[in-house]
Chains A and B, each alone.
Chain A
């Protein structure tokens, strides 16, 4: 079996970090299935498959792994990257909006992971999952306020540990990467300007490729004894 044949499923590939992760894994020799709501038009590399799905739709999430397997026959890597962000003071966040956050950022990763894990265990194969967490898996963020998002990213850390704990015995590794502030559309413009000053490492935001490199590392054999961990690629943001 060559690297060439390996399949990685990455969610949220239409832009930003997800796109960078997909490009990186393509460069590392994976075939990549990119899942996004509106489609991924930016990547035209052979080996990339554009799969459309709205991850807030739980019924749709439950079909996705089967759909990918039917097309590719295998999945080696799952990267749960897609996430919704809603800025609102906590006392104003409507339950319906919180529900969107929970479904996109936790339920969809759970369902995709569950189905991929089920496939690996039943077929006696293995693979690895990388969940994109956040510095907000550990610390709060207030400008602008985003308590709902923080809650989901804290939950993502728990999901990572729980799935790793339960499946270590099958040789399946589950890890997280917690990016600092990335230069993507998700960081609000004022973040780009001001927030660099809060980052110890040369006062700069992360390039998406630097986060993708951490994801790629966790997918390699070099990470063969690493499971249940959250790797913070945050330029030292949480240090002070």
Chain B
């Protein structure tokens, strides 16, 4: 059986760590050529040096992105049939809302909302120019639907990403470009390592999860791969929670 992503290229952001890394590896394992983008070049190097189907792009998504961004990537890395975009890069700043400073707020919105918005836009322009199907998967969060303490900028950004997903899905559906998201629950990555290592906090959190455990990045990647695959051909505008049941109650 041909691997389901054979012949296509996938651009994955936040690919140096956690969910983005698991997604990059999963898509590559299923035949995609993967362009792994992250601001942390050293971590990309550690993870992917010598891996045949994954090329590395060190890029900070916190700043403005020129219209030519994908063209310049193309000239170095041959984007080829770039069909899949996974927006996984994200930042989480923890502090009470009254202590959030403007810089934190703006940086969170820049990385978690503006960057996926710009990349999706450029991805779609390229897709429409070259023709053929395309699919975007945005890594949203259970906080696209609920709040969490001390996360105001993050919660706002992830809720924005939910509607970004739906708005792009609606506009792009006539062109056969599908746009979906996943909403991870608490997943074992760097983003929440300190929280998970605090035994009392970890117990409190798992006690809140019907399945009684955290998710692992591979489980998020599996859902991303499903939504990116032709198996999901009638699914667009959906944000699939992968949360051990968190959102049921």
Contacts and interface: CB of A to CB of B under 8 A. Distances in A.
Contacts of A110: none
Interface in B22-75: none
B31 to A, nearest CB: 16
A240 B222 CA distance: 28
A238 interface: yes
A165 B211 CA distance: 8
A166 B216 CA distance: 22
How many chain A residues sit at the interface, stated as a range, is: 35 or more
A21 to B, nearest CB: 14
Nearest to A213: B231
Contact of A206 (B209, B215, B234, B241): B234
A173 B216 CA distance: 16
Most chain B beta carbons < 10 A, residue from A165, A168, A171, A199: A168
B194 interface: no
B237 A236 contact: yes
Nearest to B230: A213
A202 B235 CA distance: 12
Given A200-B170, A206-B234, A238-B237, A229 B244 contact: no
B81 interface: no
A216 B229 CA distance: 13
A228 B245 contact: yes
Contacts, number: 129
How many chain B residues sit at the interface, stated as a range, is: 35 or more
A201 B169 CA distance: 9
Given A171-B211, A222-B226, A229 B169 contact: no
A168 B185 CA distance: 14
A187 interface: no
Contact of A214 (B176, B209, B235, B237): B235
Given A171-B211, A228-B210, A165 B178 contact: no
B195 interface: no
30 contacts: A161-B248, A165-B248, A166-B210, A168-B212, A168-B244, A169-B210, A200-B170, A200-B237, A201-B176, A201-B178, A203-B174, A213-B233, A214-B234, A217-B226, A223-B223, A225-B185, A225-B211, A225-B215, A225-B216, A225-B219, A226-B241, A226-B242, A227-B245, A228-B245, A228-B248, A231-B238, A233-B234, A233-B238, A235-B235, A236-B236
Interface of B: 166, 169-170, 173-174, 176, 178, 185, 209-212, 215-216, 219-220, 222-223, 225-226, 231-238, 240-245, 247-249
